[in-house]
Chains A and B, each alone.
Chain A
Amino acid sequence: MNNLIPPFNFQHVFVAPWTENISTFGWTALMGFLVAAACGLVGNYLILRRMALVGDAISHSVLPGIAVAFLLSGSRGSLPMFLGALAAGIVTTVIIETIHKQSRVKQDAAIGIAFTSLFALGVIIISLYASKVDLDQECVLYGEIAFIPLEAPVRFAGLTLGPPTVLRMAVVTLLTGLLVACFYKELLVSSFDPALAISLGINAIFVHYALMSWLSVVVVSAFESVGAILVVAMLILPGATAALLSQRLPVVLGLTLAHAALSAVLGGHLATWLDCSIAGAMVVMGAALFCLVWIFSPGEGLLRRCGDMVVSRWLPRRVGRAD
């Protein structure tokens, strides 16, 4: 057993990250939070629209997008990557819609067709031009946060700001928050009742494509750190956990951020202890939080449900329910 799990050292796992190792731990945890927060906010709307699978699809089809963008521009700068991802996201959305509407194929099957084909295309492009495309397939799939503190920090006006990847993600996360706040009512009504949205003069189709486009931007910025597979967890876990705790959208959005922060910090600690993939540890902690909430949620947690069942079975008439 000792060989399988590294010894637990409280000083090393919980104290050192906040003292002597704060410069590395701080940046990785902050990056984890920013990624989970941006993904979680967008993910909430995917969950509400029952499009969680579309998030999965776009996170994969971004791969050919950035591969093509790299081949065309020859650079790995942020702008070509963003544009490539954006184009891939929109193409995926269009393909899914077109297959779904113009044939008898149902939407879930259409999603399965669109993203796997595009992802395969990306795999071919990368393996064909492996020498030219400076994309590490492993990094694309699993991501790597650990290198972020090693990046040369951005300096501006004499101030040392921080690693460029973190700054870029911070901008994306802030913009995500801003967009959700500014277009709250459009997103709300077009998610709840698209027909009503259109009859109110709100272009629900445009909102749909805008959401998908922004999802692509968020996914491509999260890509480097968490990869194409774990980003799906970041999209769904925070919102799904928050939805178990509240039935008010503004509260759900707030709890999403709390879940993002907690899973980033706890994941950081777990990764310090086990010396494992940081993104993996963050997702595992995010899932652990989900399970905790699922079991202990005061409203309709598993415990509460079991309790209700026991009460109704064993105390059928003597204890009348108050309501």
Chain B
Amino acid sequence: MTDAPPLEIHDLTVAYHKKPVLWGIDLVVPRGKLVGIVGPNGAGKSSLIKAAMGLLPLSSGWVKVFGEPVAKNFRRVGYVPQRESVDWDFPVSVMDVVLMGRYGRLGLLRRPGKADRDIARECLEKVKMLPYASRQISNLSGGQQQRVFLARALAQESDLYFMDEPFAGVDAATETAIIALLHELKDKGKTLMVVHHDLPTARNYFDMLLLLNMRVVAFGPTEQVFNYETLQQTYGGRLTILSEVAEAVRAKG
């Protein structure tokens, strides 16, 4: 069990309406790494983490989480969805949302108890959202919403985290806070797979990068993978992005 990698994907293909969005993905993610998933729009970044969590039907291949199918190991998987994927007018408080992270550990007919509330409070404290615990979620800014989602993922107490663009539309302070938290989790031996759309920061944020464009273009330690050739392969001939890439590579050198 302890030797099994947090995430192992073999020959994964996912298709929407018969159009493949992911093709022949092979991946073994080592433990305790902060992995950035980078690629152009429509590269299948979100699809990859959804497929890995069993949220999408697979056309072929398999996914193993700590050596088991994800359905058997769902307690070890935490999820931060895209912020826009939920209705923020929903009649729940910040506390209610964070408590949802505990639901996977509660049996049928069980309500979150005092211990769960204490954990939820700790998680809110970690993202500095405890003063907002009883707020209705529609009264939050984008950055605060993202912190709530992060607190919920922390409350899941998982070993492998999937995060879908946690930095999208957040303020600089939140971005710094989130990245510090991700490093803290990594230092505790957690594995994090983070979809990220900003190339220049990707190089500084992550230990490993997964360059994705329907297929795995490159996967490895950031300093090895982040170079002009692989990025060009990932982003194709898109001029604006390529100049951005050139700049990023120059900044690196």
Contacts and interface: CB of A to CB of B under 8 A. Distances in A.
B6 to A, nearest CB: 15
B68 to A, nearest CB: 13
A195 B100 contact: no
A189 interface: yes
Interface in A14-73: 48, 50
A202 B104 contact: yes
A177 to B, nearest CB: 15
Contacts of B112: 185
B74 A48 contact: no
Interface stretch (A105-113, A125-133, A211-219, A246-254): A246-254
B204 interface: no
A193 B100 contact: yes
Interface string A172-207: 000000000011111011011101111111100000
A103 B67 CA distance: 37
Interface in A255-305: none
Contacts, number: 76
A243 interface: yes
Contacts of A193: 81, 85-86, 100
Nearest to A193: B86
A248 B53 contact: no
A246 B81 CA distance: 26
Contacts of B152: 196
A157 to B, nearest CB: 31
A200 B78 CA distance: 8
Contact of A248 (B79, B87, B93, B104): B93
Contacts of A186: 103, 108
B54 interface: yes
Given A182-B109, A200-B104, A249 B79 contact: no
Interface residue range, chain B? 20 to 34
B75 interface: yes
Contacts of A48: 87, 90-91
B59 interface: no
B50 interface: yes
A209 to B, nearest CB: 17
Contacts of A201: 71, 74-75, 104
Contact of B50 (A184, A195, A197): A195
Contacts of A252: 91
Contacts of B92: 188, 192, 248-249
B136 A247 contact: yes
A261 to B, nearest CB: 21
A236 B104 CA distance: 31
B186 to A, nearest CB: 20
A199 B53 contact: yes
Interface in B51-92: 53-55, 71, 74-75, 77-79, 81, 85-87, 90-92
B90 A192 contact: yes
A256 to B, nearest CB: 11
A192 B87 contact: yes
Contacts of B180: none
A188 B109 contact: no
B10 interface: no
Interface in B101-134: 103-104, 106, 108-109, 111-112
A198 B79 CA distance: 10
Given A247-B136, A248-B93, A249-B91, A195 B81 contact: yes
Contacts of B138: 247
A247 B91 contact: yes
Given A195-B79, A196-B79, A199-B79, A185 B91 contact: no
Nearest to A196: B79
A198 B56 CA distance: 10
A165 B109 CA distance: 30
A199 B55 contact: yes
Contacts of A189: 100, 103
Given A192-B97, A197-B103, 13 more contacts: A188-B96, A193-B81, A193-B100, A195-B79, A195-B85, A196-B81, A196-B152, A198-B53, A200-B104, A248-B92, A248-B136, A249-B92, A249-B96
Interface of B: 50, 53-55, 71, 74-75, 77-79, 81, 85-87, 90-93, 96-97, 100, 103-104, 106, 108-109, 111-112, 136, 138, 152, 156
15 contacts: A182-B109, A185-B100, A185-B106, A185-B112, A188-B100, A193-B85, A196-B79, A196-B81, A199-B74, A199-B104, A200-B103, A200-B156, A201-B71, A201-B104, A247-B136
